[in-house]
Amino acid sequence: MINTYGNKDDFPIFNKRVNGKRIIYLDSTATTQKPRQVLDAIIGYYEGSNANVHRSVYKLADEATEVYERSRKNIGDFIGSRENEIVFTRNTTESLNLLSYTVGESLKKGDRILITSMEHHSNILPWMRLEERGVILDYVGLDEMGHLDLEDLKSKLKRETRIVSVAHQSNVLGTINPIEEIGKIAKDNGSIFIVDAAQSVPHMPFRIREEYDFVAFSGHKMLGPMGIGVLYGKYNLLEEMPPFNRGGEMIKDVDFHNAIFEDPPIKFEAGTPNVEGAVGLSAAVDYLKNIGMEEVRRHERYLTSITLKSLDGMKNVKYYGPRDPDERGGVIAFNVKDTTNLKKDLEGRNIKVDRLYHSHDIATFLDDRNVYVRSGHHCAEPLMRTLNITGTARASFYVYNGDDDVEAFISSLSEI
């Protein structure tokens, strides 16, 4: 019997009581709670080192710059990259938009981009805007269990496919895509390969490989603060790319009509950066390293396994994605079928009915029992259309969840 790997006592929010009872937080796919170690690191920065970075020669500014750049190195080490290949952004969305407005700007009419039907809107809309210029956006299909159809991927990978951009793990289906294999296929085709790792870097061991040209992820999904994201990029590619934003700090020299830009990664960090975010994310990385990412993955697999086993015994519950916990992350999207007397009466007259309760109703029902799950389309409307549904409820786990949270979730769900 496993409880948690991240001690719940480390997370102040779990001291909160609603109607005298504890909260069961099952929405870590959207954002994670923050341990005291991360909060203390942020407060410690403001109380002891706060100054603007890279710009001044006095000691406090030097100290702030050192803290900021040390955070960059720690995060780079965490995924196996050099520190000068780590660009700080606001989140995964901004990282992917940065690529759309830099790498994407080099595409011309007739060039192609290949993504998948399970992508988050953040990995759809930045590429969709390029269709206005005649760039063709292709989607890889899925099989009935929510796996990526690799044969379909190969058939849609054309000579003109300049970019392949794929989620490592679906934020709805939980499907873990074989990005190493996909990366090799993309590189053999001469395509730039981009990984949306928002749902994987926080939950499993992740190391940069030669096939990966760019990797994007968010701090707030891995115990860090909101407003800090990461874009990994191969240094030679970052050197070739134009800046995304322009302004202070990211220049070497400016006259009235010309500018010389800084080297990466500073070239992409215009203006005052989110130093507190970098410090907080670095502390979150330390917290996860202390647990061990293999243990994080093993714990989530265990929680997912016992949850799926319970859901399999609930005939009115339908969940989506692979059945094998080894093939999915700790996120379970589900719907509940309406089993009212009206439905039974219609079925008794041979009228087929498969009506689902609205996902918001399910989430509200669980909320009344202090069980917090997500509901809606999860910023994946094309996937919802593929599944022929309008949305789902979604439970997701992290290091602070344990057997007791699963039991509370299943017990509350069984009341519907």
Judgement on whether residues 74 and 100 belong to the same structural domain of the protein: no
Judgement on whether residues 74 and 156 belong to the same structural domain of the protein: no
Give a yes or no: residue 228 inside a domain: no
Q: What is the span of the domain harbouring residue 174?
A: 92-218
**128, 136, 311, 379: the active-site residue:** 379
Domain count, the chain: 3
Judgement on whether residues 138 and 255 belong to the same structural domain of the protein: no
Give a yes or no: residue 226 inside a domain: no
If you average pLDDT over every residue of the chain, what do you get?
Answer: 95
Judgement on whether residues 62 and 23 belong to the same structural domain of the protein: no
Q: Is 115 helix (H, G, I), strand (E, B) or coil?
A: strand
Q: Which of 174, 142, 144, 179 is nearest to 164 (CA)?
A: 179
Instruction: Report pLDDT digits (tens) over 59-83.
Output: 999 999 999 999 999 999 999 999 9
Return the exposure string of 42-59: e unless at least 16 CB atoms fall within 10 Å of the residue's CB, then b. beebeeebebebbeeeee
DSSP 128: H
In degrees and rounded to multiples of 5, residue 247 shows phi and psi of: 165, -140
Q: At which of 230, 259, 289 does a domain end? A: 289
Judgement on whether residues 99 and 70 belong to the same structural domain of the protein: no
CATH value at residue 359: 3.90.1150.10
Instruction: Report pLDDT digits (tens) over 372-407.
Output: 999 999 999 999 999 999 999 999 999 999 999 999
Q: How much is the pLDDT for 416?
A: 85
Give a yes or no: residue 393 inside a domain: yes
Give a yes or no: residue 225 inside a domain: no
Judgement on whether residues 165 and 247 belong to the same structural domain of the protein: no
Q: Is the separation of the CB atoms in 268 and 250 below 8 Å?
A: yes
Q: At which of 254, 274, 289 does a domain end? A: 289
Give a yes or no: residue 2 inside a domain: no
CATH value at residue 146: 3.40.640.10
Judgement on whether residues 55 and 146 belong to the same structural domain of the protein: no
Judgement on whether residues 208 and 99 belong to the same structural domain of the protein: yes
Give a yes or no: residue 223 inside a domain: no
From CA 164, how far away is CA 10, in angstroms rounded?
40
From CA 68, how far away is CA 49, in angstroms rounded?
10
From CA 167, how far away is CA 96, in angstroms rounded?
11
Give a yes or no: residue 130 inside a domain: yes
Judgement on whether residues 68 and 116 belong to the same structural domain of the protein: no
Give the residue carrying structure tokens 């930045």: 126
Q: How much is the pLDDT for 346?
A: 45
Return the exposure string of 300-312: e unless at least 16 CB atoms fall within 10 Å of the residue's CB, then b. bbbbbbebbebbe
Judgement on whether residues 282 and 170 belong to the same structural domain of the protein: no
Half-sphere exposure of 208 (CA within 13 A, CB side): 23
pTM of the model: 0.95
Question: What is the Cα gyration radius of the chain?
Answer: 23
Judgement on whether residues 214 and 274 belong to the same structural domain of the protein: no
In degrees and rounded to multiples of 5, residue 234 shows phi and psi of: -55, 135
Judgement on whether residues 126 and 168 belong to the same structural domain of the protein: yes
Q: Is the separation of the CB atoms in 215 and 232 below 8 Å?
A: yes
Instruction: Report pLDDT digits (tens) over 178-201.
Output: 999 999 999 999 999 999 999 999
From CA 331, how far away is CA 175, in angstroms rounded?
9
Here the tokens at position 110 are 């007739």
Question: Is 379 annotated in the active site?
Answer: yes
